[in-house]
Structure 1
């Protein structure tokens, strides 16, 4: 759940690029007729996103004015996504914003598509609004719910607007098995508001991040076992713990609530693991 630099791309220009390729003069005229309404709604979106209240936006699946929702959705599906159309550079620019080409929703998969924070089916006015479009992996795009939120806790964190990295909320605990297993969960630090915590949990559960992170951690635990065995032979559990603590400090400096940060915190804090629990075979 990483922050992404907010795109400095004008909604009006993007909308104009999309409707400029419409061949039907009647539809193009109707689109121009609702242009100011689209811009007003866009400004309202940003204002609510700034204060974490996007859930207050009313769904409008039928459309805006005399333009049907389906036609507004096509601004994205046929007038932005297709290669060669004037708005395609906007799509490409949004795709490269996430750090290291990593999905900001799961912080694991590669960026492969754009996701609509407010789904374009229920909120077609924002189908080509740049700050409603976030690069993400196919897995998160597929799993992310398109339900209309009924409260602030129903929304995922908005990578362009929300910041919850002032608190350590992602944690892991170890199962004492061979090899060790890391189980991930969301903690409830005092620094988070109830609504922020609800949104984190909604995203964590909706995207199945506990299982995803546990699988990733399993590979990491196997990969470091031989190195930890060598450290243990040289300096015992203290040497293993010191190494894992350094790894944790490095990971948390790079990304406070990444699965690696949570994993190394759990590993370095476990006397059982540092004193032989790192072994992957009996």
Structure 2
């Protein structure tokens, strides 16, 4: 995502002017330290372990800084900050999971731990409710990995972040995982984000409506080209999606996994015969990524 083109120092000064007088005193006192923190944030791309909060033991300062975020709500003087963030979401999709439209704002560095960045536009990322809830106040670490920063981390030249696998049992069982061919540091961050956002559970569920919508393409491909025809069709769909949304998009991994699954391509796709999610089995299989009617 492109970084917000805002004058963050002007935003802070406007917020200061709109706060109660007692908070204005505190915010004025902290102003230069906050601006220095802004410059540090940009220098290190918001990397958590490289930034130390300027108000660790200052409860009054922390509360005053956090209160400024309320001015980004609809109808407030800095609502444009949130509006611009939502407008910048690529393809109107959550930049953390790519599944649905973002409707909430996440503080990449949580304002409870880094209150000086409560109002910083480059710290405010549009995300979906699930990602916001699962990320919560987590930041990760240098050793364990961290979340990718939508405004700073450029992974466009890396191998695909995700892979998937499809097997056929009583239904089509899908699993997603992080590509172990990634460079070590990128893999660590990708695995951290994948695990903390529970994408291993969310992507199989999101695959249900995706595959039901495209179901008719598979029997047609099988009739004309057998298993190889289904694999070619799955890759054709995946390449088209990649051309529009990039190699890291989860649906690209989905269709490559289907193309590599002999059991799916050799007739297993028929278990996708239910045409709507409401007709899918209500068993635990669906929660584990199984799609289609159980065998009878």
Is 1:101 aligned with 2:101?
no
How many residue pairs get matched?
Answer: 271
Displacement of 1:158: 0.2
Question: What secondary structure sits across from 1:85 in the alignment?
Answer: coil
Residue 210 to residue 45, structure 1, CA distance change in 2 (3 Å): same
| Cα distance, 1:98 vs structure 2 | 0.6
Q: Which of residues 267, 270, 273 in structure 1 aligns to 2:261? A: 270
| SS in structure 1 of the partner of residue 270 of structure 2 | coil
Corresponding residue of 1:40: 36
Residue aligning to 1:174: 166
* Residue number in structure 2 paired with 1:30: 26
In structure 2, which of residues 195, 210, 213 is the aligned counterpart of residue 220 of structure 1?
Answer: 210
Residues 209 and 29 of structure 1: CA distance in aligned 2, closer, same or farther (over 3 Å)? same
Partner of 1:58: 52
Match of 1:17 among 7, 14, 18: 14
Aligned alpha-carbon RMSD (Å): 2.1
TM-score (norm 2): 0.84
Q: Match of 1:115, SS?
A: strand
Shift of 1:113: 1.3
Specify which of 58, 62, 75 is matched with residue 68 of structure 2.
Answer: 75
- Return the offset for 1:73: 0.3
For residues 172-197 of structure 1, give each alpha carbon's deviation from its aligned partner in whole angstroms, at most 9, with x where no partner exists.
0112224312100001215x2x2221
Structure-2 separation of matches of 1:139 and 1:147: 14
1:245 corresponds, among 232, 235, 241, to 235
Q: Is the 8 A contact 2:165 2:261 kept in 1?
A: no
1:121 match: secondary structure = coil
Tell me if 1:127 matches 2:118.
yes
Unmatched 5+ residue regions in structure 2? 272-292
| 1:231 aligned partner | 221
